[in-house]
Amino acid sequence: DQQVKQNSPSLSVQEGRISILNCDYTNSMFDYFLWYKKYPAEGPTFLISISSIKDKNEDGRFTVFLNKSAKHLSLHIVPSQPGDSAVYFCAASDNYGQNFVFGPGTRLSVLP
Amino acid sequence: EAGVAQSPRYKIIEKRQSVAFWCNPISGHATLYWYQQILGQGPKLLIQFQNNGVVDDSQLPKDRFSAERLKGVDSTLKIQPAKLEDSAVYLCASSLEVSQPGYTFGSGTRLTVV
């Protein structure tokens, strides 16, 4: 019973183009969402967050969109750079800041 | 600031043996988490500490896993006895407060049980 799903195990994008990573969740009580980036042999690094009172949050090249009715969020990276190549995890919490549930991750490859 | 330190980086043990992992969080971070990440899956929370008290250990297999955080700083996670399915990366993370999202992860300990 995966509560947080990332249905695309991998994604390849050309440098300079937009990368869109998707995440779906089943628990309507989730009220806070995070995206993490993970390079090989390193721990996940916090990227961006969004609370359920918003539908968009932007930080530089990274924008997260939340569609509560569809229980869907997405991470947009514009423009994509080779250094963005990593595994991206979506995480959700139903108790602001506690007990985050992680998705299985999407491996992004940005091709030069 | 120094990051979250974990040791060892790698460990290979035989099933039924015991193993311990150590974590030193960022100085001043009151909240500490242990996560288990099995290959191909996202991290799964095992236990959460606030200072030296346990906030949530509902997903910790208590028959074989134990964790402590003495003095509210360093933490140790132990597995005894280990099973093949315990092979995973064990990640430690810390945050300033429980309510602060985006906590900082260490590099993890990769455990292989053979």
pLDDT for residue A7: 92
DSSP labels for A7-37? --SEEEEETTS-EEEEEEE--TT--EEEEEE
B59 touching A (Cβ < 8 Å)? no
Instruction: Write the pLDDT tens digit of every residue in A47-89.
Output: 999 999 999 999 999 999 999 999 999 999 999 999 999 999 9
Q: Determine the length of chain A.
A: 112
A13 touching B (Cβ < 8 Å)? no
Total beta-carbon pairs less than 8 A apart between chain A and chain B? 57
CA distance linking residue A65 with residue A79, whole number of Å: 17
Strands A106-111 and A10-14: parallel
B65-68 sheet: strands from edge to edge: B5-7, B19-24, B75-79, B65-68
pLDDT for residue A4 is more than 70: yes
Instruction: Write the pLDDT tens digit of every residue in B24-48.
Output: 999 989 889 999 999 989 999 999 9
User: What's the token pair of residue A96?
Assistant: 């602001």
Under an 8 A CB cutoff, do A99 and B45 touch?
yes
Contacts of A89 in chain B (CB under 8 A): 42-43
Under an 8 A CB cutoff, do A43 and B106 touch?
yes
Q: What's the mean per-residue pLDDT of chain A?
A: 94
Residue with tokens 């995206």: A35
CA-based radius of gyration for chain A:
13
Interval A98-106 mean pLDDT = 89
- Nearest CB to A34; choose among B55, B99, B102: B102
